[in-house]
Chain A
């Protein structure tokens, strides 16, 4: 319990860990293999590592760090599209800062900026809109990225642009959706996950209902979870309790922020502006049906994809990268061949090393690196022996 004293309320953390340990006897399947619980959201992954939650848990619980980090799952082809848009002389390309370092097949946005492309980091799509107002002779593109949490913000920004008739503003829409992705993970043949922590702020927008298929059709417990370390411990206990009592339900641990029906104005704005894509390409996971949104036809003049030509090429992930297997929980980040060697946070090869919310960067920054690497080498030796 190296970190527990860092909790604002270490006593509560100790009680929760004791409650988790107490469930051991009631879950017979632990005798066969450890339980795998997936936290879907990159924000949760970050908290888990920052507070050292994994080492606090008994060894019969394995946390699998899901694909819920939008920057991490952005495929190289889309980064190339961003670079192509940004290098147009008439364009001011705006983006959240964390997308700057994601590697494309030739360069990242950061490199393109260094080479002279007009790329600006903004805090909010509203700031892009303001840039468009101030630069009527330039085309301002906002790189729309993220799950349902950020969709209301870009949808409302587009509606505002339309109201003002700001034709020099457009979105390069790369929003992705949570539910089809969880479904793809559940359908994956090597999947062994026993329960889920659902993303708190996605749920704040979409509500509880979209997650019912996890418990109803796939018989897996799922708990909507907040971002405090104590939230995460409590949700882990809630998932285990469902398993122990042979229940499968959607439970809401984060009810202080997540209303059961989600955010109505936000959902309305999303519905107005976006429609489901047939499929969307993910780094590491490949193509997932219905896992992204695009802009509806009536907003074509605010859609960078329709307004400008983009290369739209499918670029394969580097062969040595095993991001996909990590994302599905088949291998752990440090088991990847290039982890900590040719792939580090300074020179990321795979997207999971790019963002602080990516599982590989988290292990790299907060894990015991020499220990992990020697464990990997040991495993490799055993496998080849």
Chain B
């Protein structure tokens, strides 16, 4: 919950509701980007950006190198697997 996980914004789903598709270690899911957009970074310009995702919300923009380092660390801590599991489980729940 408090560590978050890096992902890359691949598509804007809804620029009004500030929803984007983020690729987190190969799993794509909708993520709210309200906390990382402002006048200098409108939603449309966010595709390709790396972000730190906490419980489905992009909370901070990070550079790609930092993102990779963090992913490695989280993977060692077992957190990546746990987050991905939680995301997938949540998705199954919504699909059912």
B-side interface residues toward A, CB under 8 Å?
Answer: 1-4, 17, 29-30, 32, 34-38, 52, 54-57, 59-60, 62, 66, 69-70, 72-73, 76-77, 83, 86-87, 89-90, 93-94
Contacts and interface: CB of A to CB of B under 8 A. Distances in A.
A123 B56 contact: yes
Contact of A256 (B17, B66, B73): B66
Nearest to A134: B94
Nearest to B86: A123
B56 A121 contact: no
Contacts, number: 115
A97 B4 CA distance: 15
A47 interface: yes
Given A125-B55, A227-B3, A264-B38, 6 more contacts: A68-B2, A97-B89, A121-B90, A123-B86, A149-B1, A153-B57
Given A123-B87, A124-B90, A153 B56 contact: yes
B55 A266 contact: no
A98 B85 CA distance: 13
Given A121-B90, A256-B66, A263 B52 contact: no
Interface of A: 8, 41-43, 46-47, 50, 68, 70, 96-98, 120-127, 130-131, 134, 145-147, 149-150, 152-153, 156, 160, 199, 201-202, 204-205, 227-228, 256-257, 263-266, 269, 357
B5 to A, nearest CB: 10
26 contacts: A50-B76, A50-B77, A70-B1, A97-B89, A120-B93, A121-B93, A123-B55, A123-B83, A123-B89, A125-B55, A145-B1, A149-B59, A150-B2, A152-B34, A152-B57, A153-B54, A156-B34, A201-B3, A204-B60, A205-B59, A228-B73, A265-B34, A265-B36, A266-B59, A269-B34, A357-B2
Contact of B90 (A70, A122, A202): A122
Interface centre among B37, B52, B89 (most CB of A within 10 A): B89
A127 B94 contact: yes
A130 B86 CA distance: 16
